[in-house]
Structure 1
Amino acid sequence: MNWLTSLPAVVLVVGGLLVAFLVAAVARVGVRALVPVVEQDRVPQIATPLMPTLGACFAIFAALTLAGEASDLRAANVLVSDEAAAASRLAWAATSPGVQPEPIHAALMDYLQTTRVREWHGAAAASGGDPATARAIARLERSVRSETARSEVGTPASTELVTSLDSVTSSRRARVAAASREVSALYVVTLVVSGLALIVNAGALVFRSSLRTSLLIVGVASVVGLSLALLFALSAPWSGPFIVSGHPLDDIIDDLKSGFFHGGP
């Protein structure tokens, strides 16, 4: 399902609406063609009581699924903010007395830049196995641990450096784990089936109506199509239309370049 969630928002919206309208049209024509003439009077009697039930089922499934995906998107943004905060703590820890900040700041900036370029979109974000990012992390680890091994660096400064470094790597692991999460296929199937059933039932109600009157089911079809498009758009925060913002990390990169952590402008 990755190919679907990675489509642009416009494609998802247009595709969702087209599918919903097509199902509505097929339902209207199909009921007229498949139901025997002697039984066609019973179709509204059966379809009308089903509308509230099908509508409620779709509304519940859509609300639960979309709320969960929106919550996951917010959580992903929080993870990025936490990673930026950890990087900031490491950058400040590198300015402790006795610590040479330049190697650590250079390695940290290289790591953040590599992460933003190589590990922020698509499969690389979920796998966490990009070689360039792995090298940048290793360089950062060596820089920090080399400083903590120097005799000029006291125990408090060494502890702060190691703790800050662990926070950076832990935050990255949490981000990679979040990027590898996918929406449950059963959720999607249930939501799609309930939505299509609602459209088909609405189409059955107007199968004898004129074309203008039948346009009343466009509203139902639009809601279903847009809900499905929104679900797929929200389901992939690192590969879909709504990519998690990397501005918190970009701000740290800018601060490292400007010398902010040295007390510069």
Structure 2
Amino acid sequence: MNWLTSLPAVVLVVGGLLLALLVAAAARIGVRMLVPLGERDRVPQIATPLMPTLGAAFAIFAALSLASEAGYLRAAEGLVSDEAAAASRLAWAATSPRVQSEPIHAALLDYLQTTRAREWVGQAAESGDDSATAGAIARMERSVRAEAARPEVGSAAGTELLSSLDGVTSSRRARVAAASRDVPSLYVVTLVVSGLALIVNSGALVFRSSLRTSLLIVGVASVVGLSLALLFALSAPWGGPFIVSGHPLNAVIGDLKTGFFAGQ
């Protein structure tokens, strides 16, 4: 489903509406063509009782799906905030007495800038195997570990440096793992089928009506189409229309550039 969730919001909205409206029109025409003339009186008798059930089923599926994806988007934003907080702790740990902060701050700044530029969206965000980011992480690891191993630094400051470094790398791993998540296909199929069934049933109710009267089902079709578009838009916070904001990391980058952590 990655190809679908990565589409722009405009494409998802227009595509969802067009699909829903085409299904509504096809349902109206299809009932006229497929149902024998002698059985057409039974169509409203069958379709009318089904409307509340189909409507409730779609509403429940849509509500659960959208709530789940919105919660996932908020969780993704929380992961970015956690990574920024870990980077800030490492930057402050590098200012401990007898610690040479410049190499650590330079390596941390390089890592944050690289991951924002190379590992934030798309395939690199999902796999976490960007070579430039891997190099930046390696340089940061070497800088921090070399400083923590110096005898004059002391065990307390060295432990704080290593713990802060572990926080940064662990937060990144959590972000990469979250970015690799995909919407379950059965999840999407169930919602799409329930929505299309509701539209088809609505089209069956107005197959004898005039074209103007049949436009009443446009409302139902629009709700279904927009709900599906919103679901797909929310489902890819690392490569879809609603990209997770990198502002928390950008703020740390700005503080490193201005010398905030060094007290300058």
Find the counterpart in structure 1 of residue 198 from structure 2: 198
Q: Normalising by the residue count of structure 2, what TM-score does the alignment of the two structures yield?
A: 0.99
Q: Tell me the SS of whatever aligns to 2:261.
A: helix
- Alpha-carbon distance in 2 for matches of 1:240, 1:148: 40
Q: For this pair of structures, how many residues does the alignment match?
A: 264
- Alpha-carbon distance in 2 for matches of 1:68, 1:129: 28
Q: 1:13-162 maps to which residues of 2 (within 5 A)?
A: 13-162=13-162
- Alpha-carbon distance in 1 for matches of 2:11, 2:244: 19
Which is further off, 150-159 or 11-20?
Answer: 150-159
- Alpha-carbon distance in 2 for matches of 1:263, 1:136: 25
Per-residue CA deviation, residues 189-242 of structure 1 (Å, 9 max, x unaligned), is 000000000000000000000111000000100000000000100111100000
Q: CA deviation at 1:149?
A: 1.1
Find the counterpart in structure 1 of residue 12 from structure 2: 12
Q: Tell me the SS of whatever aligns to 1:152.
A: helix
Per-residue CA deviation, residues 144-166 of structure 1 (Å, 9 max, x unaligned), is 00001112101110010000000
Q: Tell me the SS of whatever aligns to 1:71.
A: helix
- Alpha-carbon distance in 2 for matches of 1:145, 1:218: 63
- Alpha-carbon distance in 1 for matches of 2:66, 2:179: 17
Q: Show structure 2 runs of 5+ residues with no match.
A: none
Task: For 2:73, give the aligned amino acid.
Answer: L
Q: Show structure 1 runs of 5+ residues with no match.
A: none
Find the counterpart in structure 1 of residue 176 from structure 2: 176
- Alpha-carbon distance in 2 for matches of 1:123, 1:2: 10
- Alpha-carbon distance in 2 for matches of 1:98, 1:155: 12
CA RMSD of aligned residues (A): 0.5
- Alpha-carbon distance in 2 for matches of 1:85, 1:12: 34
Report % sequence identity. Answer: 82
Per-residue CA deviation, residues 1-27 of structure 1 (Å, 9 max, x unaligned), is 111110000000000000000000000
Q: Normalising by the residue count of structure 1, what TM-score does the alignment of the two structures yield?
A: 0.99
Find the counterpart in structure 2 of residue 258 from structure 1: 258
Q: Tell me the SS of whatever aligns to 1:120.
A: coil
- Alpha-carbon distance in 2 for matches of 1:177, 1:65: 21
Q: Tell me the SS of whatever aligns to 1:3.
A: helix
